[in-house]
């Protein structure tokens, strides 16, 4: 019983964390805590086979699968707190409380007979007892799970498979494209300038300065540009100050000549 009273609060808190955590990875970790605690509760309740299966299948396979998919779709994304349906959270809380009340009334009305315990059923060993049930009384259901497994594997393969619609572009195609861009749009076919060239900061997030004083945005790596982490080059306050110091003089010299 001690195990139960130690684990039950942890499980409830972790389950609440599953609802409240804003990041999906934190929710997954909370769920892993619940599942491992459940495995321990199975072990306490004379179910050593389910204890092993819970650890291997749930925390081992299923949680790994969840984490893999989280990595695929982007881990650092967190849910927005804006409700898309008005009052959804309040309504869900009310429904949840009503549900809990209903269930607790149901549990409260149960006439609890004395717990028989599994000592007799587990006399030949828990695994042997389960096997005797699985392969006699529940053998049809067991066969159906085999069919279910095969269907699931095929379904996952079909759903996750992606047909390649266009052939991948080869080096030759890229080269032809570059020359066509040069002919039609006048785009320079060579290497773009590297970031930081002729700029105040010699850093990869600073766009290169072109001879006419404008910045070459495409010299900054695209991932930095998408995240909005590039410096503004000429718009930098330091550069602006420096230009203000020297700019007018050069212009005047030009005008004198």
Partner 1 sequence: MTEYITLSFLLFTIGAVGVLVRRNAIVVFMCVELMLNATNLAFVSFARQHGNLDGQTAAFFVMVVAAAEVVIGLAIIVSIYRTRRSTSVDEANLLKA
Window 35 to 94, contacts with partner 1 (CB under 8 A): 35, 38, 41-42, 45-47, 49-50, 53-54, 57-58, 61-62, 65-66, 69-70, 72-73, 79-80, 84, 88-89, 91-93
100 binds partner 1 (CB under 8 A): yes
Smallest distance, partner 1 to C-beta of residue 98, A: 10
DSSP H helices in 83-169 = 88-108, 126-134, 139-160
Using the structure block, give the residue that is written with the tokens 């009052």.
87
Question: How many residues of this chain bind partner 1 (CB under 8 A)?
Answer: 77
Crossing angle of helices 63-73/24-44, nearest 10°? Answer: 180
Smallest distance, partner 1 to C-beta of residue 169, A: 20
Residues within window 112-171 making contact with partner 1, judged by CB under 8 A? 112-113, 115-118, 120-122, 126, 129-130, 133-134, 138, 141, 145, 148-149, 151-153, 155-156, 159-160, 162
Smallest distance, partner 1 to C-beta of residue 162, A: 7
Q: Which is nearer to partner 1, 120 or 226 (CB)?
A: 120
Q: 22-56 in b/e burial notation, b at 16+ Cβ within 10 A?
A: eebbebbbbbbbbbbbbbbbbbeeebebbbeebbe
Q: Which is nearer to partner 1, 124 or 250 (CB)?
A: 124
Q: Which is nearer to partner 1, 122 or 200 (CB)?
A: 122
Smallest distance, partner 1 to C-beta of residue 226, A: 13
The single-letter DSSP state of residue 23 is B
Q: Which is nearer to partner 1, 108 or 211 (CB)?
A: 108
37 SS3 class: helix
Smallest distance, partner 1 to C-beta of residue 151, A: 8
107 binds partner 1 (CB under 8 A): yes
Hey, what are 178's tokens?
């570059």
Task: Pick the binder of partner 1 from 95, 123, 139, 203 (CB under 8 A).
Answer: 95
CA dist., res. 234 & res. 237, Å (int): 8
Q: Which is nearer to partner 1, 149 or 203 (CB)?
A: 149
C-beta of residue 53 within 8 angstroms of C-beta of residue 37: no
Q: Which is nearer to partner 1, 71 or 174 (CB)?
A: 71
CA dist., res. 32 & res. 146, Å (int): 26
C-beta of residue 202 within 8 angstroms of C-beta of residue 219: no
Q: Which of 78, 87, 88, 38 is CA-nearest to residue 58? A: 38
Q: What angle do CA 112, 118, 119 make, to 5 degrees?
A: 130
Using the rule CB under 8 A, give the single segment among 28-36, 187-195, 207-215, 240-248 that binds partner 1. Answer: 28-36
Residues within window 194-213 making contact with partner 1, judged by CB under 8 A? none
Q: Which of 55, 59, 61, 53 is CA-nearest to residue 127? A: 53
């Amino acid at each position: 019983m001690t195990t139960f009273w130690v684990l039950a609060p942890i499980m409830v808190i972790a389950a609440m964390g599953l609802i409240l955590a804003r990041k999906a990875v934190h929710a997954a970790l909370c769920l892993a805590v619940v599942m491992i605690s459940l495995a321990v509760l199975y072990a306490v309740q004379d179910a050593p086979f389910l204890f092993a299966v819970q650890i291997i299948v749930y925390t081992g396979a299923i949680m790994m699968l969840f984490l893999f998919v989280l990595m695929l779709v982007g881990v650092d994304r967190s849910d927005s707190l804006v409700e898309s349906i008005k009052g959804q959270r309040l309504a869900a809380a009310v429904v949840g409380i009503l549900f809990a009340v209903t269930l607790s009334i149901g549990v409260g009305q149960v006439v609890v007979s004395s717990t028989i315990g599994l000592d007799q059923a587990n006399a030949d060993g828990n695994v042997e007892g389960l096997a005797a049930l699985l392969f006699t009384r529940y053998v049809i259901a067991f066969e159906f799970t085999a069919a279910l497994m095969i269907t699931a594997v095929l379904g996952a393969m079909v759903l996750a498979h992606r047909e390649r619609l266009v052939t991948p572009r080869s080096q030759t195609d890229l080269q032809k494209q570059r020359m066509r861009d040069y002919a039609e749009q006048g785009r320079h076919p060579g290497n773009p300038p590297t970031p930081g060239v002729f700029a105040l900061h010699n850093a990869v997030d600073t766009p290169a300065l072109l001879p006419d004083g404008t910045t070459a945005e495409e010299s900054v790596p695209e991932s930095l540009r998408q995240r909005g982490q590039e410096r503004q080059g000429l718009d930098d306050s330091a550069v602006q100050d420096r230009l203000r110091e020297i700019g007018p003089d050069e212009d005047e010299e030009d005008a004198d000549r």
